[in-house]
Structure 1
Amino acid sequence: MPDVNATAGPLGGLDPIAGAAQHPGVALVAGSAGVIGAHAAAEYARVPGWTVRGAARRAQPDVPWQPLPADLSTADGAREGLAGARDTTHLVFAAYVERGDERQQIEDNTALLRHTLDALADAPLRHVTLYQGGKAYGAHLPGFRTPARESDPRLLVPNFYYAQEDLLRAEAARRGFGVTLLRPEGVVGYATGNPMNILTVVAVHAAISRELGLPLRFPGSRAAAEALYQVTDAELLARATVWAGSAPAADGEVFNVTNGDQFRWAHAYAAIARHLGMEHDEPQDFPLTSVMPMHAETWSRMVERHGLVPTPYEHLVGWAFGDFLFHSGFDNVSSTVKVRRAGFGECLDSVDRFCELLDRLAERGVVPAAR
Structure 2
Amino acid sequence: MPSAIVTGATGILGRQIVFELGQHRQQWPTIHALSRSKKEDYPETVIHNHIDLQSSPDEMAHDLENVRGEYIFFAAYLAQEKEEDAWEVNGRMLSNFLSALEKTGAIKDVKRIILVCGAKQYGVHLGVPKQPMIEDAPWLTDTSKWPPNFYYNQQNILHKFCQEHGKDWVVTYPNDVIGYVTGNFMNLSSALALYALVSKELSSSSGGEDSGITFPGSPAFYTKFDSFTNSKLHAQFCLWAALEPRAANQAFNVVNGDVESWQNLWPKVAHYFGTKVKPDQFKAAYNGAAAANTDASSSMDMAPQPPVSAEAETLGLVGTPALEPNVVEQHIDLVKWSQRSDVKEAWGRVAEREGLDKESFGKATWGFLGFVLGREFDLVISMSKAREAGWTGYRDTWASLKGVFEEMREAGVLPKA
Give the alignment's TM-score, normalised by structure 2: 0.79
Question: Which of 78, 85, 89 is the equivalent residue of 1:97?
Answer: 78
Verify: 1:193 aligned to 2:187, yes or no.
no
Q: Is the 8 A contact 1:28 1:55 kept in 2?
A: yes
Of 331-340 and 341-350, the range deviating more from structure 2: 341-350
Q: How far did 1:283 drift?
A: 4.1
Amino acid at match of 2:71: H
| Residue 293 to residue 99, structure 1, CA distance change in 2 (3 Å) | same
1:196-235 equivalences under 5 Å are 196-212=186-202, 213=204, 215-235=212-232
Q: Cα 1:314–1:243, aligned 2, differ >3 Å: closer, same or farther?
A: same
Return the letter of the residue paired with 1:292.
S
Could you tell me whether the CA contact under 8 Å between 1:220 and 1:283 is conserved in 2? no
Contact 2:135 2:253 in 1 (8 A): yes
Cα offset, 1:345, TM superposition: 1.2
Q: Is residue 2:21 matched to residue 1:56?
A: no
CA distance in 1, matches of 2:348, 2:42: 27
Counterpart in the other structure of 1:177: 167
**1 CA distance for matches of 2:339 and 2:70?**
44
Shift of 1:69: 2.1
Contact 1:207 1:368 in 2 (8 A): no
Is 1:236 aligned with 2:236? Answer: no
- When the two chains are superposed, the root-mean-square deviation of aligned CA atoms in Å is 1.8
Q: Displacement of 1:66 after TM fit?
A: 2.1
User: Are 2:52 and 2:60, in contact at CA under 8 Å, matched by a contact in 1?
Assistant: yes
For each residue in 1:6-38, what CA deviation from the matched residue of structure 2 results, as whole angstroms up to 9, or x when unmatched?
xxxxxxxxxxxxxxxxxx322111101110000
**Identical-residue share of aligned pairs (%):** 30
Q: Does the 8 Å contact 1:31/1:56 carry over to 2?
A: yes
State the alpha-carbon separation in 2 of the partners of residues 356 and 293 from structure 1.
28
- Asked if residue 279 in structure 1 is aligned to residue 268 in structure 2, the reply is no
Instruction: Return the alpha-carbon distance in structure 2 between the equivalents of residues 348 and 227 of structure 1.
Output: 20
Partner of 1:32: 9
Q: For the Cα contact (< 8 Å) 1:88–1:125, is it kept in 2? A: yes
The aligned runs of 1:286-297 (5 Å cut-off) are 286-294=332-340, 295-297=343-345
Give the match for residue 164 of structure 1: 154
Q: Give the number of the structure whose alpha-carbon radius of gyration is greater.
A: 2
Gaps (5+ residues) in structure 1? 1-23
Deviations 1:103-127 (A, max 9, x none): 1110000011011111211111111
1:246-288: CA deviation from partner (whole Å, max 9, x where unpaired): 1101100111010011111122111221233212114461111
> Which is worse superposed, 201-210 or 251-260?
201-210
**Structure 1 pair 135–61 and aligned structure 2 pair: CA distance change class (3 A):** closer
* CA distance in 2: counterparts of 1:287 and 1:59, whole angstroms: 35
Give the conservation status (yes or no) of the 8 Å contact 1:91–1:125.
yes
Instruction: Give yes or no for contact 2:253–2:386 (8 Å, CA) kept in 1.
Output: yes
Q: 1:81 aligns with which of 63, 76, 81?
A: 63
Aligned match for 2:389, one of 334, 342, 352: 342
**Aligned with 2:406: secondary structure?**
helix
Paired with 2:338 and 2:86, the residues of 1 have a C-alpha distance of 27
> Residue 106 of structure 1: SS of its match in structure 2?
helix
The corresponding residue for 2:267 is: 270
Cα 1:283–1:161 shift into 2, 3 Å: farther
Do the aligned partners of residues 248 and 255 (structure 1) sit closer, same or farther apart at CA in structure 2, a change above 3 Å counting? same
Q: 1:300 to 1:84 in 2, by over 3 A?
A: farther
Task: Report the Cα distance in structure 1 between the residues aligned to 2:130 and 2:12, rounded to whole angstroms.
Answer: 27
Q: Report how many aligned residue pairs link the two structures.
A: 345
Offset, 1:59: 3.2
Q: Which has the higher mean CA deviation after the structures are superposed, 153-162 or 246-255?
A: 153-162
- 3-state SS in 1 of match to 2:139: coil
Gaps of 5+ in 2: 205-209, 283-330
> Segments of 4+ in structure 1 off by > 4 A?
309-312
| TM-score scaled by length of structure 1 | 0.88
Q: Is the 8 A contact 1:137 1:148 kept in 2?
A: yes
